[in-house]
Amino acid sequence: MNKTKRKIFETSLKLFSEKGYDATSIEEITAIVGVAKGTLYYHFNSKEEIFNFLVDEGIKLLINSIEIKTSKCDNTLDKLKAISLIQLKAIKKYEELLTIVLSQTWGIETTHVFCREKVIEYISVIQNIVEEGIKKGDFRKCNSELLASEIFSLTCSTLIYKRKMGICQIDIDKLYCEYEKNLFNNINIE
């Protein structure tokens, strides 16, 4: 990604996160980036295309992280634990992106539908691991789709918790231990 496109990307990410998609204009993005509209349109056809690019790249990044981390795990429970840790680290590193995705998941506008589809794509990756664990006998029989959604919801609830408590930096290790104790001990067969 060239320097101008990256600056458009980063500025849009910040504005969409702070103000919301609807309240952010192309004019505002170009003013902050310091480029003409034509330059922006050279890289992206529309504000929606910028948004879709941000969300798509972010979800791909999370899924790629899951694939890399879980490939090194010995069992499916460790894979789910790795996913929860990835999500906590993502909150710390990509809070703006996650804020955008979560804020745009509900509704009927095209950006809402796009975000919802991407979240469902992400949850299905987790669901496949849950189903693998059930098949192997690592987990109790359960609704794999619901459990995968609950694991994803750790991201949502952690962001809400972080903002409610006014925490600038979350203690990933402490939260991970809480999640491990509260969630993963309940699904394990042993």
**Domains contained in the chain, CATH given:** 1-45 (1.10.10.60), 51-187 (1.10.357.10)
pTM attached to this predicted model: 0.88
| pLDDT for position 190 | 53
Give the tokens for residue 174: 């402490």
d(CA 111, CA 119): 12
Separation of alpha carbons 129 and 92, rounded Å: 24
Burial class (CB in 10 A: 0-12, 13-18, 19+), 141: exposed
For the segment 64-118, what is each residue's pLDDT rounded down to a tens digit? 999 999 999 999 989 999 999 999 898 888 889 998 998 899 899 999 999 999 9
Residues 6+ apart with CB under 8 A from 55: 97, 100, 101, 104, 114, 115, 118
- Give yes or no for residue 164 having a pLDDT over 90: no
C-alpha–C-alpha distance, residues 117 and 112, integer Å: 9
130 neighbors 80 (Cβ within 8 angstroms): yes
Share of the chain above pLDDT 70, in %: 96
What integer pLDDT is reported at residue 59 of this predicted model? 94
